Amino acid sequence: MISRVRRSLPIQLYSGRPAAPLAFLLLSLAAAPAAADSAHQWLGRMAEAMSRLDYRGILIYRHGATLDTLEVAHRHDENGLRERIATLSGTEREIIRRDGEIRCLYPDDRSLVLEGRLSESLFPAVDEHSWESLAKWYRFTLGGVERVAGHEARVIGIEPRDEFRFGYRLWLDEASAMLLRSRLIDPAGQVFEEMTFATIDIGAAIGDDELAASQPLERFVKFKAADDSRNTLPLVRVLTSGSPLPPGFVLLNHTRTAGQGAGGALEHLLFGDGLATVSVYLETLDESDSGVPPSARRGALNIHSRRDGQRLVTVLGEVPFMTLEAFGRRFDNAAQTLTSQRQ
């Protein structure tokens, strides 16, 4: 049995990168006071740079034994953020950000997934206490200067304070504070995942043609996730009962996709601690489906599944397995609870 969640994993590895995994952190830092020559100050500059700079480049993405090459074009204008990410190696895939939506194109089966207004719902404005909250779970250190993609880059270390999260290492352009390289690191110092620009043109003039899909969208079969944020009472009931969530993680977003063909409804809940994110998918299976997909790892992305009758709970994120297992225990009966409360 292969669930819809696991079939879509390859696009999930790219759709939030390079900015989205850090976006909640950036919003936190943008409102925080900065001390001279501190890691905090550099990350605040990064928040500003990534919210206003246009750029194009070639991004190398290493996860586990897999190495992918991506072409990135990124622009901010009066209409907001626009971006195109396309694979240059392996299976052809394409991500288009426009008008607050993410369009994920799978040319091999002519499908197009519309992910909704993620720029508005995933990363809401945070208050002045966000930095203090983030510092409860991570330590930040300022390192030296190294060279990345032809640019001098300042190194920032981010170390977790407990076993529920991984650490990070960031390289920021000395001149602009643009993020040039990032690594995800386990407690033993092993690099699970690395993203680095091989080439980057910061401040480039990005034309509309660089941001457009390579093929007409009319050729694709469209699937759209419905924003269910206005119906949160069932979630409140689920989240305030049962086993506790790992400390520091809060609900950021909730969407629900109606069943397509043989597939049932799919709930998606996104949680974050200010830096790491965990996705919980509650999926109604077809009666012919049997078994539970085994836990797995795709580079730094860990995947854990639990089954309750014809409902499958899949938890995934760039966090340790013990974190996913804690979420799984909380949502053992969540799919049944949410479904019954909607009826």
Q: What is the pLDDT of residues 278-319, one digit of tens each?
A: 998 888 776 666 666 777 777 678 888 887 766 788 899 989
Look at 132 and 338; give whichever has higher pLDDT.
Answer: 132
Taking CA 161 as the corner, what is the angle to CA 158 and CA 162, rounded to the nearest 5 degrees?
A: 125
Which long-range contacts (C-beta less than 8 Å, at least 24 apart) are formed by 54-57?
Answer: 54/203, 54/204, 54/205, 54/206, 55/178, 55/200, 55/201, 55/202, 55/203, 55/204, 55/206, 56/200, 56/201, 56/204, 56/206, 56/210, 57/149, 57/197, 57/198, 57/199, 57/200, 57/201
What is the reported pLDDT for 242? 57
Tell me the β-bridge partners of 168. Answer: 158, 184
What is the reported pLDDT for 45? 87
Look at 284 and 241; give whichever has higher pLDDT.
Answer: 284
How far apart, in whole angstroms, are the C-alpha atoms of residue 102 and residue 114? 6
Task: Grade residue 240 by pLDDT with cuts at 50, 70 and 90.
Answer: very low
Look at 257 and 73; give whichever has higher pLDDT.
Answer: 73
Structural tokens at position 321: 């397995």
Contacts of 186 (CB under 8 A, 6+ apart): 166, 167, 192, 320
- Residues 67-86: tens digit of each pLDDT: 999 999 999 988 888 999 99
- Residues 175-230: tens digit of each pLDDT: 999 999 999 998 888 888 899 999 999 999 999 999 998 887 777 666 665 444 44
Tell me the β-bridge partners of 142. Answer: 156
How far apart, in whole angstroms, are the C-alpha atoms of residue 69 and residue 42? 27
